[in-house]
């Protein structure tokens, strides 16, 4: 049982998993920051420990165990102490199991293998709930700030923080715009965590990574037999996110045939599964993100005007990193602290010369690019300070979309100006497509993001220019 008698004692964590390696990993993670870990290799042992222990501040609970399943253990834990935070973990996580565990009172749901940043975040939140008198267990300056302030400390980011705090308590639909890698999903999660729906699920869907033919089923669900391969009923993301927040990333890639159904769902707060005819009520908040201007897409008739107006109850624009350079040092330190902890390396900071290099770079990949550069630097660093030779940013020095000098125009015979123009555009388009597809190893959705277009356009042009995706995936030369 939990006790708050000694607020100065370290948090005590019960780690329940039948896999020794998982238990050892989690034990090392929590003990490295001064918490005490208690292991249980079965559900039965976990319940015995919980009943006998004087203090358990929060629990990591595996979902699948040989004796008593995680869901049953979760029910019993809540009978013993309804307030104790339980973080359900599983190597076979699905939206359905996450929803079920949250309905039973789970504090959060994590999939194996663990992402160190998400693990740190959930531990801090669990400690704050299990031992409210204690500060976060990670004491670096960046960890004392609010989650959405992790994008930076500049005046611009403070203004965005104010916008988040303003809109979060409402149920307004929000459009978050910004270049790829600026942290739009972090802002969306911040809105969710400050909202009245924070105890519900936050479910992200990348509209650009799902084939258009599958996206409707993924969002709205389908009935058994609705199409070839639909062997069972499948609730969609709208149903899974009920009472929570659905985050539609890269909404600009939403196929035109799906847009009216999304509009109807937002207006009527019901969904109809593919192959079904029964409206199902959903109570969710919608947040969308885009790296393209939706208003420009509306003018170009690429996005429905009525859907845009329905989505744009509130808008937040996240500027690129090159426009808020005062955040670079802060973020570089944050990523250094995270990675040195993950790799257990004693790195004190970044040298002045290395910081000059970081500050002078344009960062076309924004925060995501900076994070990767710092992670590589920490891995390479064999001293206690990151030096300039530890930084590997040559690959990021030029935006992927920049065309190189190899784009030539072949003029054969006496072509008209319009024919020359058309031929030149086709040559450049094909070169750009092949270049982007090689970088993404044939992933057309990722190539669409690099080229700042939609999946459908990339797919149609791959067919038009007869580009072999298989050859690209196998690393063979293609006829550019």
Task: Assess whether the region 321-396 and the region 417-473 belong to the same CATH fold.
Answer: no
- Which CATH topology does 417-473 take? Arc Repressor Mutant, subunit A (1.10.10)
Nearest to 273 by CA among 224, 322, 308, 327: 224
Q: Where are the domains of the chain?
A: 12-138, 144-317, 321-396, 417-473
Q: Lowest-pLDDT range, 206-210, 329-333, 360-364?
A: 206-210
In this predicted structure, what is the pLDDT of residue 418?
A: 58
Predicted pLDDT of residue 12: 87
Higher pLDDT, 415 or 329: 329
What share of the chain has pLDDT > 70, as a percent? 84
Read off the pLDDT of each residue in 27-46 and give the average, rounded to a whole number: 85
For residue 348 the two structure tokens come to: 């004190």
In the numeric block, which tokens belong to residue 65?
């165990």
Sequence-distant (6+) residues with CB within 8 A of 167 are 174, 191, 314, 316
Q: Which fold has domain 144-317?
A: Rossmann fold (3.40.50)
- Residue, of 267 and 425, whose pLDDT is higher: 267
- Give the total residue count for the chain: 480
Phi, psi values for residue 446, rounded to 5°: -70, -40
φ/ψ (deg, to 5) at 61: -130, 120
Tens digit of each residue's pLDDT (9 = 90 or more) over 283-318:
999 999 999 999 999 999 999 999 999 999 999 999
Name residues whose C-beta falls within 8 Å of residue 2's C-beta, 6 or more positions apart in sequence.
55, 56, 57, 81, 83, 84, 130
Q: Is the confidence at residue 145, as pLDDT, over 70?
A: no
Region of residue 402 (phi > 0: left; psi between -120 and 50: alpha; otherwise: beta): beta
Mean pLDDT of the residues in the chain: 82
- In this model, does residue 341 exceed pLDDT 50? yes
Does position 262 have pLDDT exceeding 50, yes or no?
A: yes
Whether a cis peptide bond, with omega within 30° of 0, leads into 226 is no
Q: What is the mean predicted confidence (pLDDT) over 148-170?
A: 85
**pLDDT tens for each residue of 171-195:** 999 999 999 999 999 999 999 989 9
Q: What local confidence, expressed as pLDDT, does residue 412 receive?
A: 43
**Residue 318 pLDDT:** 93
Written as six digits, the tokens of 443 are: 């992933």
* CATH code that applies to domain 321-396: 1.10.8.60
Tell me the pTM: 0.64
pLDDT of 21: 85
**Of the candidates 89, 116, 153, the residue with the CA atom closest to the CA atom of residue 328:** 153
Cα angle at 13 between 4 and 75, to 5 degrees? Answer: 90
CA–CA gap between residue 50 and residue 65 (Å, rounded): 17
pLDDT at position 404:
41
- Cα 134 to its chain centre, rounded Å, is 28
Q: What is the 3-state secondary structure (H, E, C) of the chain?
A: CCCCCCCCCCCEEEEECCCHHHHHHHHHHHHCCCCEEEEECCHHHHHHHHHHCCCCCEEEEECCCCCCCHHHHHHHHHHHCCCCCEEEEECCCCHHHHHHHHHCCCCEEEECCCCHHHHHHHHHHHHHHHCCCCCCCCCCHHHHCCHHHHHCCCHHHHHHHHHHHHHCCCCCCEEEECCCCCCHHHHHHHHHHCCCCCCCCEEEEECCCCCHHHHHHHHHCECCCCCCCCCCCECCHHHHCCCCEEEEECHHHCCCCCHHHHHHHHHHCEECCECCCCCEECCCEEEEEECCCHHHHHHCCCCCHHHHHHHCCEEEECCCHHHCCHHHHHHHHHHHHHHHHHHCCCCCEECHHHHHHHHHCCCCCHHHHHHHHHHHHHHHCCCCEECHHHCCCHHHCCCCCCCCCCCCCCCCCCCCHHHHHHHHHHHHHHHHHHHHHHHCCCCHHHHHHHCCCCHHHHHHHHHHCCCCHHHHHCCCCCCC
Q: Specify the pLDDT at position 416.
A: 55
Question: What is the per-residue pLDDT across 109-123, written as a single tens digit (0 to 9) for each?
Answer: 888 777 776 787 788
pLDDT digits (tens, 9 = 90+) for 381-432: 988 899 999 998 854 444 444 334 344 444 444 455 655 666 677 778 888 8
The span from the CA of 15 to the CA of 316, in Å, is 40
Examine the pLDDT at 49 and tell me if it is beyond 70. Answer: yes
pLDDT at 211 over 70: yes
pLDDT in tens, 2-14: 444 455 567 889 9
Q: What is the pLDDT of residue 421?
A: 61
At residue 260's C-alpha, the angle toward residues 259 and 261, to 5°, is: 90
- Judged against a pLDDT cut of 60, whether residue 233 lies above it is answered with yes
- CATH superfamily, region 12-138: Response regulator (3.40.50.2300)
**Rounded average pLDDT over 43-47:** 91
Predicted pLDDT of residue 411:
47
In terms of pLDDT, which residue wins out, 89 or 213?
A: 89
Dihedral angle computed from the Cα positions of residues 170, 173, 179 and 180, in that order, rounded to the nearest 10 degrees: 100
């Amino acid at each position: 049982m939990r006790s708050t008698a000694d607020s100065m004692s370290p948090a005590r964590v019960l780690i329940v998993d039948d896999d020794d390696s998982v238990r050892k990993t989690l034990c090392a993670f929590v003990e490295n920051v001064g918490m005490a870990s208690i292991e249980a290799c079965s559900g039965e042992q976990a319940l015995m420990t919980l009943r006998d222990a004087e203090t358990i501040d929060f629990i990591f609970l595996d979902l699948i165990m040989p004796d008593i399943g995680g869901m049953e253990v979760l029910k019993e834990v809540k009978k013993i102490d309804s307030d104790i935070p339980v973080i359900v973990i599983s190597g076979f996580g699905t939206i359905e199991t996450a929803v079920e565990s949250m309905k039973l009172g789970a504090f959060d749901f994590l999939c194996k293998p663990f992402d160190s940043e998400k693990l740190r975040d959930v531990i801090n939140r669990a400690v704050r709930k299990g031992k409210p008198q204690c500060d976060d267990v990670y004491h670096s300056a960046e960890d004392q700030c609010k989650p959405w302030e992790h994008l930076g400390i500049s005046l611009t980011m403070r203004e965005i923080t104010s916008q988040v705090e303003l809109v979060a308590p409402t149920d307004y639909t929000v459009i978050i715009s910004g270049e790829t890698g600026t942290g739009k999903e972090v802002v969306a999660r911040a809105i969710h965590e400050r909202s009245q729906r924070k105890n519900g699920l936050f479910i992200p869907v990348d509209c650009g990574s799902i084939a258009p033919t599958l996206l409707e089923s993924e969002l709205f669900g389908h009935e058994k037999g609705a199409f070839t391969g639909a062997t069972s009923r499948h609730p969609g993301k709208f149903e899974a996110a009920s009472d929570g927040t659905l985050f539609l990333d890269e909404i600009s890639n939403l196929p035109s045939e799906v847009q009216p159904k999304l509009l109807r769902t937002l207006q009527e707060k019901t969904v109809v599964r593919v192959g079904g005819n029964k409206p199902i009520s959903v109570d969710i908040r919608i947040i969308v993100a885009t790296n393209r201007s939706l208003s420009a897409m509306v003018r170009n008739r690429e996005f429905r005007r009525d859907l845009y107006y329905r989505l744009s109850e509130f808008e937040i624009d996240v500027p690129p990193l090159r426009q808020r350079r005062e955040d670079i040092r802060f973020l570089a330190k944050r990523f250094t602290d995270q990675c040195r902890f993950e790799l257990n390396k004693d790195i004190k900071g970044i040298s002045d010369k290395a910081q000059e290099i970081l500050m002078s770079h344009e960062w076309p990949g924004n925060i995501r690019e900076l994070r990767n550069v710092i992670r590589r630097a920490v891995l390479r660093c064999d001293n206690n300070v990151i030096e300039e030779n530890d930084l590997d940013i040559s690959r990021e020095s030029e935006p992927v979309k920049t065309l190189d000098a190899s784009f030539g125009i072949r003029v054969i015979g006496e072509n008209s100006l319009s024919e020359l123009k058309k031929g030149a555009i086709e040559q450049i388009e094909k070169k750009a497509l092949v270049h982007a597809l090689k970088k993404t190893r044939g992933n057309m959705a990722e190539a669409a993001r690099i080229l700042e277009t939609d999946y459908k356009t990339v797919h149609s042009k791959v067919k038009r220019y007869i580009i072999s995706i298989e050859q690209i995936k196998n690393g063979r030369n293609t006829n550019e």
